Structure 1
């Protein structure tokens, strides 16, 4: 159920915050009873859902604009916030040891939100395609 997915992602994001707030000892990102880390199974969960949704959506033939249904617009807004977080994490990783699974998780989360937005539009509204140069005079 979608609500279950939201609750799981919220929990994962708290894990992600704990992961980023806890420096690794000697680049060791192994979780423990005292240290929360994003782990590959959390990334795999997102990838499974991305694959399942992508399998039922029409293939993309162009870039799409965020919007359509209200739910799709909200999912695209969440996706852009997630991309901002990904850029911040990538900048952090350039200067501090950062859990590779955490970086993969935030990347896959934005992709999941993208396909969820497409799925929300699949319920009666088509994706809004980008038309390059459409408004040039």
Structure 2
């Protein structure tokens, strides 16, 4: 995909598969809703979660965003990078609100804010600084 197509794909998607590295070196893989922070993948999670502990030890991540059910429809973006922790409460809540908007399209911010403020008390956010991007679009094969 072109850089423009990758950007559009990231903007139009909502979930990713996030891989961090466990203490024993095995991958820890979870599905996450995500947002975008100046075009970079951003997510929030509980400060005591396994992914947070993993990222504190080793910030390297892989983020897979994919779509399509049949082979000829498969497309995706794989972002490799380093997750930078965000502790500033205002930024954490801003990222949380962006994630919540993408989780629940069409729901007004005033309905999302109580959820974001409540759950945000125990959350931290991360922004992924890209080191490599791999993409594919099987629709172009036909």
Does TM-score exceed 0.5, indicating one fold?
Answer: no
Q: Which has the larger helix fraction? A: 1
TM-score, length-scaled by structure 2:
0.26
* Higher Rg: 1
TM-score of the superposed pair, with normalisation by structure 1: 0.26
